[in-house]
Structure 1
């Protein structure tokens, strides 16, 4: 009789333990959720939490966001147009210079920046530019890649945005740009699969009338939104928004040309990039 009680007691304890184990697994699965498809540009297998513990991600597959996490020099490659070049900054630093200064504070190692920005550059020109062996060498060695492109495409292709923004023309220009941007990112990732890419979003520097302003902002918002969707196809790639910075601080953040940022404007962009990088 005593032996029978022991058997039933053992069965009961085992059942409760199993139930608790299954409940814990369900809670973990709910908390972790499925991996977002935007975090990986290609098809991937969805592993369970237990399988992920058995097959941990290799450290070398995770990009180093901080220079302190890199052995030796930390390399930044800046690609794009006049925003990358730093046009309008009376100090000559631009967002690339301010970002470099802040990242240098994080490590005793040297932060090396290669600024390849070119004033007036459009997306098709950048695509051709990054296919040169010299630029590809820089991209391969980079721990961080920054990118600003599209402003010249929009301004030159969407009609006179300072007077009468043309949504139809802007849409056509946008589609062409997005297709080229996808090719640019594909080319960069063919040279460097893991390093973070920070893309500087567009802002509207033009003081327009109410109706024109609404139209211009709709064009800009859709442009940035569609750009972000293309970026999401590539892992560790992010759009850094800037429109709000200049909406409320245009008089303080714009250079004398009322188009490019000044030193304060570039510093604000760099600090936002640093936040996103962290």
Structure 2
């Protein structure tokens, strides 16, 4: 009588080529890169950096739209996410969000109403973050401080540090509650002083110039959550 031997274990094949992560950067003009004719903004600069042969080769989609508020980003979140898959991975592995500065703008005059009333912003932000983390892991890149002396923007939008701080802090706390990594660029750039800060901004006082976007890229690349992502292997 023949003895029964154990069934052989099926070995998982080792992929011949690593599978890079797919990321989407979703937000406003800071994501789009407006004001940087040299490098196309921090997202484009990072995308090019990841294309070098000795890098991880992660794939990064720029989904920034000038003028977007929290409501606009929330409206297109899932459709943008669902249609940015590649090959074996049909949806992205990470979402990078960056939005909020346009919501803080005062309309028409210094004492005008904010584009998005603060309570509405808090509610819309909570909904956006809750929906985003259900899709995949999220990183949030905060807003940079404006040059108040250059306001108003387009003769209609009055950005100021007090309102920026309020909306930025609400975003920081909402991310903290959900364990979403948040890069507080507003605080980082303010701590470097007004002379340094204003050299990073274009003539409109709102958007970084090429030097500013390079500084922004360095801040993002030196951020621990992004460092961990850049040093990670492949998508699981």
Per-residue deviation, 1:172: 7.2
Instruction: Kindly report the root-mean-square deviation, in angstroms, between the aligned alpha carbons of the 2 structures.
Output: 3.0
User: Which residue of 1 is the match for residue 95 of structure 2?
Assistant: 145
Asked if the contact 1:83/1:117 (under 8 Å) is kept, the reply is: yes
Equivalents in 2 of 1:136, 1:244: separation in Å? 33
User: Which residue of 1 is the match for residue 185 of structure 2?
Assistant: 241
Equivalents in 2 of 1:106, 1:224: separation in Å? 37
Pair 106,176 (structure 1): closer, same or farther in 2 beyond 3 Å = farther
Name which of 108, 114, 139 aligns with 1:197: 139
State the secondary structure of the residue aligned to 1:254.
coil
Residue pairs, 1:126-137, within 5 angstroms: 126-132=73-79, 134-137=80-83
Name which of 141, 148, 167 aligns with 1:223: 167
Unmatched runs of 5 consecutive residues or more in structure 2: 1-16, 152-158, 228-236
Give aligned pairs, total: 195
Name which of 22, 45, 52 aligns with 1:98: 45
Asked if the contact 1:88/1:256 (under 8 Å) is kept, the reply is: no
Name which of 65, 87, 101 aligns with 1:118: 65
Residue pairs, 1:1-278, within 5 angstroms: 71-103=18-50, 107-132=54-79, 134-138=80-84, 141-155=91-105, 158-160=106-108, 164-165=110-111, 169-170=113-114, 173-192=117-136, 195-207=137-149, 216-242=160-186, 244-245=188-189, 247-276=194-223, 277-278=226-227
TM-score by length of 1: 0.60
User: Which residue of 2 is the match for residue 67 of structure 1?
Assistant: none
User: Is the helix fraction higher in 1 or 2?
Assistant: 1
Equivalents in 2 of 1:181, 1:218: separation in Å? 19
Alignment deviations for residues 188-232 of structure 1 (CA, whole Å, 9 cap, x no partner): 11111xx341322241222179xxxxx933322222111101111
Asked if the contact 1:199/1:239 (under 8 Å) is kept, the reply is: yes
Asked if the contact 1:253/1:261 (under 8 Å) is kept, the reply is: yes
Per-residue deviation, 1:116: 0.9
Asked if the contact 1:85/1:116 (under 8 Å) is kept, the reply is: yes
